[in-house]
Amino acid sequence: MNYDLTDKQQRRKFVKYANSLLKNKRTLVSLEDKSNRTLSQNCYIHVLCRILAQDTGVTEYYAKQVYFKELANADIFVHPTKDALTGKMIRTVRSSADLSIQEMAKAITNFRNWASEQGYYLPEATLNDDGTMTFNDERDKEAFRQAEIETSKEIGL
């Protein structure tokens, strides 16, 4: 069931339903609506990873997995998990598709800051509501455009 708790009538229905669950000692599983990262955010992080990969000589995959996820954002992406077979603690790395919009925004900021600390500049963009990106200066816009051109060449567009 789905209840919009900002609606007075639905809120009353929810309370009635919750009370019946309490009375019958039932189990309730709560699923909150969490909007995942936007396509614009995903596009932007791929371009940033491509730029850093080109600047450092590593693959884009390596830049995303190691630089973006493990070094710049370990607190967001890397989590210890107990392996079901061996019982040993292992490291798991989250997918960026599982991040909320806010988590992805924080991860992008962390990544740009981390790259800067390593001596690399990554272009800054504002993600607009309509899915487009606005760049703060021409250098940022040009860096993004060049990375897009390279991506298009690689996939044959």
Total residues found in the chain within this entry:
157
Report the pLDDT value the prediction gives residue 151, as an integer from 0 to 100. 61
* pTM to 2 decimal places: 0.67
Report the pLDDT value the prediction gives residue 53, as an integer from 0 to 100. 95
Q: Are residues 61 and 102 in the same domain?
A: yes
Report the pLDDT value the prediction gives residue 34, as an integer from 0 to 100. 58
Range of the domain at 94: 39-154
Q: Are residues 128 and 69 in the same domain?
A: yes
Rg (CA), the chain: 21
Report the pLDDT value the prediction gives residue 69, as an integer from 0 to 100. 98
Q: Are residues 29 and 51 in the same domain?
A: no
Beta strands in 2-151 (DSSP E): 78-82, 89-93, 125-127, 133-135
Report the pLDDT value the prediction gives residue 154, as an integer from 0 to 100. 62
Q: Are residues 43 and 89 in the same domain?
A: yes
CATH number at residue 95: 1.10.3790
Q: Are residues 81 and 145 in the same domain?
A: yes
Q: Are residues 93 and 118 in the same domain?
A: yes
Q: Are residues 52 and 128 in the same domain?
A: yes
Mean pLDDT of the chain: 84
Q: Are residues 76 and 141 in the same domain?
A: yes
Report the pLDDT value the prediction gives residue 124, as an integer from 0 to 100. 87
Q: Are residues 117 and 131 in the same domain?
A: yes
Q: Which residues contact 17 (CB under 8 A, 6 or more apart)?
A: 1, 3
Q: Are residues 101 and 146 in the same domain?
A: yes
Q: Are residues 23 and 87 in the same domain?
A: no
Q: Give me the number of domains the chain comprises.
A: 2
Q: Are residues 23 and 51 in the same domain?
A: no
Instruction: Collect the ranges in the chain with pLDDT lower than 50.
Output: none
